[in-house]
Amino acid sequence: MRLIDSKVLQEVRVVGFESGCRSKERLLQLGIVPGVILKIKRLAPFAGPLIVSIEGSDVVLGRGIAKKIIVEEI
């Protein structure tokens, strides 16, 4: 499933990225790497961004990039 399909307060594990994801390097810099666990803290309404927690730090991601992050439920 994609990160954008997750629910608030759900924890997921990053599996990978869709091919052609140009933001992959930036995601890796933010610590969003395969195997890391993310917690969805907030989904802003009206196509707004997501706030996810990564090892205690909050990161804001646009919905476009969240559609390209492949995750699995844990």
Q: Summarize the confidence of residues 22-45 as an average pLDDT.
A: 88
In eight-state DSSP terms, residue 5 is G
Average pLDDT, the chain: 89
pLDDT band at 21 (very low <50, low <70, confident <90, very high): low
Find the length of the chain: 74
Confidence (pTM): 0.85
Tokens of 22: 């140009």
Domains with residue ranges and CATH for the chain: 3-73 (2.30.30.90)
**Quick one: which H or E segment has residue 65?**
helix 63-66
Is residue 3 left, alpha or beta, with left meaning phi > 0 and alpha meaning psi from -120 to 50? alpha
Tell me how far apart the alpha carbons of residues 56 and 18 are, in angstroms, rounded to a whole number: 25
